[in-house]
């Protein structure tokens, strides 16, 4: 790739907020930069952001603070200032990692910088929409708007074949390319001393199987199946420890259910682990990774576990189970607690089999971010050449004045909301 060409990576989340897609953008930027490219990350403003450590520009645009409702800063996808900055860059390609706000903004910027727009579809957004919007008519309208946004992109990538099938279920009829995400953990186990240091102080007796879950503490991740199966395992006098790494809106309910089903003494809820070396230690302490999720489109955590030679238990035909061979490099179950319980009961006491399948997983499933982004960069070159040759549909350029007016309108709205919050705070302080 021409080192003078800039690749813009857009996403609705970026540190200090971190989730799976933000982690993907971090790794795209890091590897493009390492390969001699010029990445720019475009993301909503965050009050706690410190972008100084990054060796590439991070351009932030106005946002609304919805963390108390959604956990996210909500970007306002109109920014004349950002458009002016990018117009001075040699932007070769825009790569959006979210089909909502980031792609709305990218579609406008595309007409300013005259570059192709690629979208990576990471998440089953139809499920997110259904969880947030209860009204059926509003759901349908939201899905149509989502589909319109996706159709407007010059090329669409998905992180798995299952994610592509989810796109089809939304009504998407265009082409897509499967471009898997990578793993930023090295493919090797950490020293035993490091494992002991990180897990010291936790109730993890030697010789007792340790099961692990890493991810958002949400019911749709299949956590109820885990608790149900473990309650049955305890009922037949099988000892174990279940470690949950992560946080989320359903965490309190999950812990309460573990208490109700009398397995809280076997479960460790340790919260999120942001340090990657500490997370590696937790993976390496586990004997088996439990991930009965049908929500996830890629299941990066499955490859993270594989990097540490830990096998996963997955739902048959789920996206996370793509390419997994039952009993060879993972274990496949039906989507019910009976099936998970029977799998765990069969494997109980056979740690040699768990570890053997885990070693196979490390050889067969692991993909580094270096390899993943290298493939993406090769594809970038093809897309840029095709765009220059006019092989993609042209996009009518709107008046720059209209763009500016829209931006000023949204900037004004943002100022009004800020002023409103300041007035509320002042009134509250005066009453105390």
Q: Is residue 22 part of a domain?
A: yes
Q: In this structure, is residue 260 part of a structural domain?
A: yes
User: If you compute the radius of gyration of the chain from its CA atoms, what whole number of angstroms results?
Assistant: 23
Query: Does 138 share its domain with 204?
Result: no
- Answer yes or no: is 187 within a domain: no
Alpha carbons 7 and 40: distance in angstroms, whole number: 6
Inter-residue contact 213 to 242 (CB < 8 Å):
yes
- 358 lies in a domain? yes
Whether residue 205 lies inside any domain: the answer is yes
Residue 200 lies in a domain: yes
Residue 374 shares a structural domain with residue 360: no
Mean pLDDT of the region 192-214: 96
Q: Is the pLDDT of residue 415 over 60?
A: no
Q: Which of 214, 186, 195 is nearest to 309 (CA)?
A: 186
Domain around 389: 6-182+370-428
Q: pLDDT for 71-106, tens place per residue?
A: 678 899 988 999 999 999 999 999 999 998 999 999
Count of beta carbons in the 10 Å neighbourhood of residue 226: 25
pLDDT digits (tens, 9 = 90+) for 104-115: 999 999 999 999
Q: Which of these three, 366, 383, 405, is where a domain ends?
A: 366
Cβ atoms of residues 75 and 106 within 8 Å: no
Instruction: Please check whether residue 337 is in contact with residue 225, taking contact to mean a CB–CB distance below 8 angstroms.
Output: yes
| Count of structural domains within the chain | 2
Rounded to whole angstroms, the Cα distance separating 397 from 388 reads 16
Nearby residues of 4 by Cβ (< 8 Å), 6 or more positions away? 38, 90
In this structure, the answer to whether residues 153 and 239 fall within a common structural domain is no
Q: What is the pLDDT of residue 412?
A: 45
Q: Which residues pair with 241 in a beta bridge?
A: 210
CATH code, domain carrying 46: 3.40.50.2000
CB 267 within 8 A of CB 133: no
Specify whether 268 is located in the same domain as 388: no
Q: Do 164 and 49 share a domain, yes or no? A: yes
* pLDDT value at residue 432: 47
b/e burial code for range 152-186 (CB count within 10 A of at least 16 → b): bbbbbbbbbebbbebbeebebeeebeebbbbbbbe
**Same-domain check for residues 201 and 291:** yes
139 — pLDDT class (breaks 50, 70, 90): low
Q: Which of 349, 366, 383 is the last residue of a domain?
A: 366
173 lies in the same domain as 42: yes
pLDDT at 203 over 90: yes
Q: What is the pTM of this model?
A: 0.79
Residue 353 lies in a domain: yes
Which of 120-124, 329-333, 376-380 has the lowest average pLDDT?
A: 120-124
Lowest mean pLDDT: which of 3-7, 207-211, 295-299, 307-311? Answer: 295-299
Q: What does each C-alpha distance from 396 to 92, 107, 111, 129, 390 come to in angstroms?
A: 18, 11, 8, 30, 14
3-state SS, residue 45: coil
226 and 174 fall within a common domain: no
Beta bridge partners of 41: 9, 58
Q: What is the token pair recorded at 122?
A: 């990471």
Six-digit token string for 128 = 């997110």
In a 3-state reduction of DSSP, which class is residue 95?
Answer: strand
> Cα(259)–Cα(252) distance, rounded to whole angstroms?
11
398 and 335 within one domain: no
- Last residue within a domain, chosen from 320, 341, 366: 366
The distance from CA 280 to its chain's CA centroid, rounded to whole angstroms, is 18
The distance in angstroms from the start CA to the end CA of the chain is: 60
Helix (H) or strand (E) holding 56: none
- Does residue 94 sit in the same domain as residue 207? no
Reported as a pLDDT band with limits 50, 70 and 90, residue 251 is: very high
Same-domain check for residues 33 and 177: yes
Whether residue 1 is contained in a domain is answered as no
Label the pairing between strands 210-214 and 177-178: unpaired
For residues 140 and 163, state if they share a domain. Answer: yes
Q: What is the pLDDT at residue 377?
A: 97
């Amino acid at each position: 790739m021409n080192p003078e060409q800039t690749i813009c990576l857009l996403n609705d989340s970026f540190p200090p907020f971190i989730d799976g897609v933000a982690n993907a953008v971090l790794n795209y930027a890091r590897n493009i930069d390492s390969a001699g490219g010029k990445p720019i990350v475009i993301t909503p403003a965050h009050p706690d952001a410190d972008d100084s450590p990054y060796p590439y520009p991070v351009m932030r645009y106005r946002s609304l603070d919805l963390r108390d409702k959604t956990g996210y800063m909500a970007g306002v996808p109109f920014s004349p200032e950002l458009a002016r900055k990018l117009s001075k860059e040699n932007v070769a390609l825009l790569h959006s990692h979210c089909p909502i706000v980031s792609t709305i903004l990218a579609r406008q910027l595309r007409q300013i910088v005259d570059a192709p727009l690629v979208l990576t579809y990471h998440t089953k957004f139809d499920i997110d929409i259904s969880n947030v919007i209860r009204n059926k008519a509003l759901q349908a309208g939201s899905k149509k708007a989502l589909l319109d946004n996706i159709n407007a992109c010059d090329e669409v990538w998905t992180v798995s074949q299952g994610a592509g099938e989810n796109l089809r279920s939304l009504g998407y009829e265009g082409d897509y390319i499967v471009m898997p995400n990578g793993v930023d953990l090295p493919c090797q186990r950490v020293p035993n001393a490091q494992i002991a240091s990180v897990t010291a102080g936790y109730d993890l007796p030697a010789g007792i199987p340790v099961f692990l879950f890493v991810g958002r503490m949400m019911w749709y991740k299949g956590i109820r199946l885990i608790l149900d199966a473990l309650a049955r395992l305890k009922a037949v006098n099988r000892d174990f420890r279940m470690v949950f790494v992560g946080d989320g809106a359903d965490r309190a309910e999950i812990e309460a259910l573990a208490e109700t089903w009398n397995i809280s003494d076997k479960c460790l809820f340790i919260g999120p682990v942001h340090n990657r070396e500490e997370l590696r230690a937790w993976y390496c302490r586990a004997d088996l990774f439990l991930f009965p999720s049908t929500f996830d489109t890629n299941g990066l955590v499955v490859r993270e576990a594989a990097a540490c030679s830990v096998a996963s238990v997955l739902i048959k035909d789920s996206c996370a189970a793509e390419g997994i061979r039952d009993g060879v490099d993972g274990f496949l179950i039906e989507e019910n607690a009976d099936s998970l319980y029977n799998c765990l009961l069969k494997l109980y006491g056979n740690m040699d089999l768990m570890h053997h399948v885990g070693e196979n997983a490390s050889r067969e499933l692991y993909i580094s971010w270096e390899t993943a982004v290298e493939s993406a960069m090769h594809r970038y070159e093809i897309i840029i050449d095709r765009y220059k040759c006019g092989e993609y549909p042209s996009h009518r350029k709107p008046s720059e004045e209209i763009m500016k007016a829209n931006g000023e309108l949204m900037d004004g709205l943002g100022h009004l909301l800020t002023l409103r919050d300041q007035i509320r705070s002042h009134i509250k302080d005066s009453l105390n």
